[in-house]
Chains A and B, each alone.
Chain A
Amino acid sequence: MAELTYRDAVARGIAQEMERDERVVFLGEDIGKAGGVFKTTVGLYEKFGPRRVRDTPISEQAILGAAMGAAMTGLRPIAEIMFADFLAVCFDYVANEMSKLRYMSNGQLACPLVIRTGNGGGVRFGAQHSQAVENWTMMIPGVKVVAPSSPMDVIGLMAAAVRDPDPVIFHEHKALYAIKGDVPDGEIVDRLGTAKILRPGRDCTIVALALMVPRALAAAETLQREHGVDAEVIDVRSLVPLDTQTILGSVAKTGRLFTVEENPRLCGWGAEIASIVADEAFWDLDGPIVRITTPHIPLPAADHLEDLALPSASRIVDKVRRVLNG
């Protein structure tokens, strides 16, 4: 067991898979000699060399296209898109190419690759380097989407993503890179499509993702301590596949559901969960499903404004408390 940052867990997760499988290769901008602009890939270039850890030009289409062509023909590439916002400049590969390859070819072609990307806000980078875009990727049939919230999950889900036979978008959260967590020694392999109940509770269910997970947990502590509300907190972890059974099971127990989403409100991932729960667990509900989201705005750079925009622990507490008190 060792205490590891989320940032270092990224490098450890990649290294674990590169050591295991020679077919795993890694490409992206400044990932090699520089060790990554977020220092998430420090040591990989030194350990695996320029043949397997390849610095690229600033060419996001070439990065994802090359990863795809390599994946189709036998490699297991990991591609870094430095900021998740940049997925917009290479979105063809996500939305039209890798996601549809297997289907359009009637199963002749596969695309086992991982796109790692720095997602989310709270880092004062402004509207084009701070977005939480997990919902952009969730809406495309044919890709899988994960977003870990802890160092342990980074390693385990990275392994699951690299070993998965389908393209996986792996959203790392920029504001979580510095957090620390205990990580056991040895190989860690998790499963895609599994949510985790991080805090059992009786009174309501709060589902959260990535940076919203620690905030939901902090809110749950406050709710318990100051308001006597016993909230169950679920880390969704994987948007596709989506572990609806864990969520539905929790709602059956608590009767109330809150989603905490960093993505802007319209078509956020919580809307899909709300829809599923309304469809399939309506009679378990004791009140309306409530979504707590970033408002439908671009993100400001100023710290006081960005803090207002993103769901905070206190906003979660306030909302849950007011809704439950009717």
Chain B
Amino acid sequence: MASVEDGTARNDGLRNDDIGLDRRLELFRLQVEIRDCEKRAFDLFLQNLIKGTSHLSIGQEAVAAGFGVAMRKDDKSFCTYRGHAHTLARGVSMEGVLGELMLRDIGLMRGKGGSMHLTSVEHDVLGSYAIIGAHLPIACGSAWRAQYLGEKDVSVCFFGDGTTNIGAFHEALNFAAVWKLPVVFVCENNLYMEYTPISEVTAVKHPAADRATAYGLERIVVDGNDADVVYRTALAALEMARDGGGPSLIECLTYRHSGHSRADPAKYRPPGELEEWLKRDPVVIYRQRLRDFGVKQETIDAVEAESKRKVEAATEACKASPQAPVELLTADVYADGGWAWRN
């Protein structure tokens, strides 16, 4: 069978276009691994091995993957409680993520933060924030540091459509625009603000993009289910920020296949809506994209098999992990490592 990998394919655009084979495989790998890891998180919930709450990105993987591949190693990620995908997309291990969801010692923060606060400084994932909008100003601060010190990293801040109606969103956008900060704001518009259609509670059609002009920014709406589109958009915004061109606000249209959180069966969705979006499933789209470009089925299969293997290995490692020692209860409240508030 003709393949772009061994040079026998007629369509060798994959090799030569701006994205190229290696990056496309990386975009695919990330989407598949995020999908598999999120599905496993759902299963582990049903088994009562994940406690508390959890917010899955199934259906929205292309945004995290597109940015994950486009970002430089030292670029900073600021995520939300729906942040498993963006954390994995920076190279954080599944053990670290699933372990934290399971509140085990093997987790990224040894169970102290939980699913909504995934943080891995080693991977420049500078936190997942569970108060809507809070991390947009924080990302501005990180970007201010880069600008002040002449460092060339860009701070990227992911959030949902619901965030566009809170004050911190507007404060951060104005602030970033006035200070011309190297920050990229990425709105994943999945049509629902928790349980409510975003259109019912927002004065404009595009909750992020239609606000951009108020801050002197370009209006950008892209297909958030096409990782190539996201990647290209991300790269342009990152380059502009790195070159001193200031912030961007990007609205990525996407859809979450599951409910808002563990507690939500998403019964508020009109009949047929999910089915329509499943036709535009980012993983399905990308698998076909690779085939269209002449990537061998065995290469695709190998990526998917490796992802499944990773998920199994991570799950077993997490199940085998104890919970953290109780000494952690009072550790790291203050910089001395402890919690003492008096002498």
Q: Any chain A CB within 8 A of the CB of B270?
A: no
Contact (Cβ within 8 A) B174 A244: no
Q: Quick one: closest B residue to A93, CB to CB?
A: B134
B121 contacts partner chain A, Cβ-Cβ < 8 Å: yes
Do residues B168 and A65 form an inter-chain contact, with CB atoms below 8 A? yes
Interface size on B, residues (CB 8 A): 51
Please tell me if the beta carbons of B332 and A61 are within 8 angstroms of each other in the complex: no
- Would you call A128 an interface residue if the criterion is a C-beta within 8 Å of the partner chain's C-beta atoms? no
Whether B140 is near chain A, meaning CB under 8 Å from some CB there, is yes
- With A59-B175, A92-B131, A103-B332 known as contacts, the answer to whether A69 contacts B139 (CB < 8 A) is yes
> Contact between B331 and A62 (Cβ–Cβ < 8 Å)?
no
CB < 8 Å neighbour of B137 from A61, A96, A105: A61
Q: Determine whether the beta carbon of B333 is less than 8 Å from that of A104.
A: no
| Min distance, Cβ A11 to any Cβ of chain B, angstroms | 21
Instruction: For chain A, residues 227 to 249, give those with C-beta under 8 angstroms from any C-beta of chain B.
Output: 240-245
Q: Which of A87-114 contact B (CB under 8 A)?
A: 92-93, 96-97, 101-110, 112
Q: Complex: how many Å from CA A75 to CA B133? A: 22
Instruction: Judge whether A241 and B341 touch: CB under 8 Å.
Output: yes
**Interface assignment of A71: CB less than 8 Å from any CB of chain B:** yes
Residue contact A73 to B76, C-beta cutoff 8 Å: yes
Chain A contacts of B343 at CB under 8 A? 193, 241-245
Which one of B120, B134, B142, B171 lies within 8 Å of A59 (CB-CB)?
B171
Task: Tell me, yes or no, whether A42 is within 8 Å of chain B by CB.
Answer: no
Q: Which of A25-75 contact B (CB under 8 A)?
A: 25, 51, 54, 56-57, 59, 61-75
The answer on a CB contact under 8 Å between B140 and A66 is yes
Check: B337 CB closer than 8 A to any chain A CB.
yes
Assess whether B136 is interfacial by the CB under 8 Å rule. yes
Nearest residue, chain B, Cβ from A66: B141
Task: Please give, as numbers and ranges, the residues of chain B lying within 8 Å of A184 by CB-CB distance.
Answer: none
Contact A104 B341 (CB under 8 A): no
Q: A74-B149, A75-B145, A104-B109 are in contact. Are A242 and B341 (CB under 8 A)?
A: yes
Q: Which residues of A contact B155 (CB under 8 A)?
A: 69
Contact of B113 among A54, A59, A71, A105 (CB under 8 A): A105
Is A80 positioned at the interface, with any CB of B under 8 Å from its CB? no
- What 0/1 readout, one digit per residue, does chain B (147-190) give for beta carbons within 8 Å of chain A? 01100000100000000000110011011001100000000000
Q: Is B203 an interface residue (CB 8 A)?
A: no
Chain A residues 163-180 with CB under 8 Å of chain B are: 164-166
Q: Is B117 an interface residue (CB 8 A)?
A: yes
The answer to whether A106 and B328 touch (CB under 8 A), given A61-B167, A62-B140, A73-B76, is yes
Q: A65-B168, A105-B127 are in contact. Are A73 and B141 (CB under 8 A)?
A: yes
Give the interface centre of A61, A66, A112, A245 by most chain B CB atoms within 10 Å.
Answer: A66
In whole angstroms, how far apart are the Cα atoms of A72 and B341 in the complex? 22
Chain A residues proximal to chain B, CB less than 8 Å: 25, 51, 54, 56-57, 59, 61-75, 77, 92-93, 96-97, 101-110, 112, 141-142, 144, 164-166, 193, 240-245, 276
Given contacts A71-B141, A104-B119, 11 further A-B contacts (CB under 8 A): A54-B179, A57-B171, A59-B174, A61-B133, A66-B140, A69-B138, A75-B149, A103-B332, A106-B108, A108-B121, A141-B341
